A and B are shown apart, each in its own frame.
Chain A
Amino acid sequence: MVALCLDKIPEMKLERPNMNYLHVNDVRPHGRGPYSLNIAAGECVSLSGPSGSGKSLLLRAIADLDPHDGDVFLDNLPRSTFTAPQWRKQVALLPVESQWWLDDVGGHFPDTDCPWLKPLGFTHKTMQWQVSRLSSGEKQRLALARALMNHPRVLLLDEPTASLDPQTIGIVEKLITDYRNETQAAVLWVSHDAQQAARVGNRQLKLTAHGFSDHIDDGADGAHPGSENIA
């Protein structure tokens, strides 16, 4: 069922594999940075840094939720060529804490036929569940399914497994990796867990107040087309 749905978006396949999907150019969220970053199509960059270092602010800036200096490009197109709602559908931000404003789960989905429910351990009946009775782990997984409904080309994940148990963490990691491989989506994954960062990321970066620093080099870094400036 997953494959069926992903087949509907063949334009996501990149023709020129060396082209950068997401290019972040001198972005300054709330006066920090500037941060510059390239994430290639199908690449996952894991991002760590002490709390308060501005990881969430950087994700918010990329998703265009706060005013900031600098620009972001998707497939070499500047963000200003997209309307803000279009941009956020393609550059999906999954916040640490998801918000739900209706009583039932299904009302939050554009279409109750969601192909990601089953891989995440839910059934179609989950759509009738009451939001007030969801656990924090269920909310986190459903928020991921909800964000994927827009078929985003870039995923900005803010600790997407923070409230999950080890077994479910594995399921979520696999789903995101599968989605990335199938659609060649670029992924920026904020994680506090060094092991997870190494597991899911093709590259690892650490956020400092003035830019990125290369975190732990897994030796394969040179193979990736993306490069960062270290301010």
Chain B
Amino acid sequence: MISLSALDLSLAALLVLALAALSWRMQLGLGAQLLIAAARTVVQLLLIGLVLKTLFEHIDLVWVGGISLIMLLAAGREVMARQQRRFTGWWGFGMGTGAMFVSSFAITILTLTTIIGTDPWYTPQYAVPLLGMMLGNTMSGIALALDRLTATAWQQRAVIEQRLMLGATRQEAIADIRRDAMRSGMMPIINSMAVAGLVSLPGMMTGQILAGTPPMEAVKYQILIMFLISAGTGFGVTAALWLASKRLFDERHRLRLDKLGTPKV
């Protein structure tokens, strides 16, 4: 494997700087954002590099659990931040986070113990990247689906209430909207499975191949990851939508949009 030097990375950084300069010249207003994001990438990745280095040297369930928790909370915050109209109170954070916890952790642990079979099962070299990939994708799916559900429920409140007036249960009244939300949460992973290898080589596989892994080994891992991600996203989105669509109503099957906050500008 060819190791990258600081000089190699600086050359790549020059490209980003050139783009920022162009943005500044053309007054696109993207320069500052671009540079801040690039700087965050460097700092966050170097830090996680250090953390992983230490973690790999000290295989300890407490440390793996601790970093998993931090990853989960960060993902939960991100899901909440992407909601236009989020649930008020703890539900806004708890709903997405809870759904991600159940699906991502269950699938990661299942994979580590029965499919990959590492010893011990929490070997950080496998556990941390796998969980990260699960959380990252489940997060996007849940964020998209919840946002779609609450936004559509808000727009279509009159239709939902009309169905309630005609004697529909809360599940019946929101079924179409929930189905739509499910579709938008699942579309990214379904699309990326459909074009995998045709349009793009998935990031993880590319990384493994660049690092010198034989292509067929990389492919097998990529297939495994794709399946896990789609299952994790599917179960996570289902759980989040179930909780959210229940929460939109009360026990008397009344639409309670007052449980949603005002939209961000």
Beyond contacts A97-B158, A147-B165: 13 other A-B pairs, Cβ-Cβ < 8 A, are: A65-B165, A65-B254, A67-B252, A83-B253, A84-B164, A85-B164, A85-B167, A85-B168, A88-B164, A92-B165, A95-B162, A101-B156, A101-B163
- CB-CB under 8 A from B164, the residues of chain A are 65, 84-85, 88
- CB-CB under 8 A from A86, the residues of chain B are 167
Q: Is the CB of B166 within 8 A of A88?
A: yes
Q: Are A147 and B166 CB-contacts (below 8 A) given A65-B161, A101-B159, A101-B176?
A: yes
Interface string of A48-64 (1 = CB under 8 A from B): 00000000000000011
Min distance, Cβ A22 to any Cβ of chain B, angstroms = 16
Q: Is the CB of A64 within 8 A of B254?
A: yes
A146 interface hit (Cβ, 8 Å): yes
A-B contact pairs, 15 of them (CB 8 A): A64-B254, A65-B164, A65-B165, A66-B254, A67-B254, A84-B254, A86-B167, A88-B164, A88-B167, A89-B166, A89-B167, A95-B162, A101-B156, A101-B163, A150-B166
Min distance, Cβ A191 to any Cβ of chain B, angstroms = 19
Q: Is the CB of A88 within 8 A of B165?
A: yes
Closest A residue, CB atoms, query B250? A67
- CB-CB under 8 A from B254, the residues of chain A are 64-67, 84
Min distance, Cβ B60 to any Cβ of chain A, angstroms = 51
B169 interface hit (Cβ, 8 Å): yes
Q: Which residues of B contact A (CB under 8 A)?
A: 156, 158-159, 161-169, 176, 250, 252-256
Closest B residue, CB atoms, query A92? B165
Q: Is the CB of A99 within 8 A of B159?
A: yes
A98 interface hit (Cβ, 8 Å): yes
A93 interface hit (Cβ, 8 Å): yes
Closest B residue, CB atoms, query A143? B162
Instruction: Return the 10 tightest CB-CB contacts between A and B, nearest first.
Output: A89-B167, A99-B162, A84-B253, A84-B252, A99-B159, A101-B159, A85-B167, A93-B165, A99-B158, A88-B167
Q: For the complex, what is the distance from the CA of A96 to the CA of B252, rounded to whole Å?
A: 23
Closest A residue, CB atoms, query B252? A84
Q: Contacting B253 at CB < 8 Å: which of A85, A92, A99?
A: A85
Q: Is the CB of B176 within 8 A of A63?
A: no
Q: For the complex, what is the distance from the CA of A99 to the CA of B160, rounded to whole Å?
A: 9
Q: For the complex, what is the distance from the CA of A29 to the CA of B253, rounded to whole Å?
A: 17
Q: Is the CB of B163 within 8 A of A95?
A: no
- CB-CB under 8 A from B161, the residues of chain A are 65, 99
Interface string of A73-108 (1 = CB under 8 A from B): 000000000011110110011010111010000000
- CB-CB under 8 A from A83, the residues of chain B are 253
- CB-CB under 8 A from B169, the residues of chain A are 85
- CB-CB under 8 A from B159, the residues of chain A are 99, 101
- CB-CB under 8 A from A63, the residues of chain B are 165
Min distance, Cβ B245 to any Cβ of chain A, angstroms = 16
Interface string of A29-43 (1 = CB under 8 A from B): 000000000000000
Closest B residue, CB atoms, query A147? B166
Q: For the complex, what is the distance from the CA of A147 to the CA of B169, rounded to whole Å?
A: 16
Min distance, Cβ A128 to any Cβ of chain B, angstroms = 20
Most buried by A among B166, B250, B256: B166
- CB-CB under 8 A from B250, the residues of chain A are 67
- CB-CB under 8 A from A146, the residues of chain B are 166
